[in-house]
Amino acid sequence: MPSLCDRASDVAIQAGDRGVKKRGLILRPEPMNPDKKIIWLEYALKNLKDRDVPLTEAVETLNSPDSVVESYQERKVLMRVFDDTALGQPMLIRVVIEEELDYITVVTVFKTSNAKMYLKKGQ
């Protein structure tokens, strides 16, 4: 099976009922939901680079989050703890998405060492 990066193409799409033009990267259907495409906004891709978040960890969070919380404007925040080899410590990755009927838009991605601030007991 090809990797996510092998199937990526740079595209522009018309998104959602708001009619907002979003430019990003579309990744073909993923294991988390084979019927939905993953669209990465340019802002999210920039954050991956600027914040030193590995793409593989962001994709793993999309596929297998430790927890999902509802956010404002019908967004969801997917979270997962991973071992950051560059920093040599566990980090929490947060992937903010907007889920539509046939695709998921990745709005932003970041990592933090302050997992307690975001994860509630029992999550």
Alpha helix locations (H) across 1-123?
A: 42-50, 55-63, 115-118
Say what the pLDDT of residue 33 is.
60
Say what the pLDDT of residue 120 is.
67
Say what the pLDDT of residue 98 is.
94
Say what the pLDDT of residue 7 is.
32
Say what the pLDDT of residue 40 is.
92
pLDDT under 50 in the chain at which residues?
1-23, 25-31, 121-123
- 73 with 89: CB under 8 angstroms? no
Instruction: Give the whole-angstrom CA distance, residue 91 versus residue 103.
Output: 27
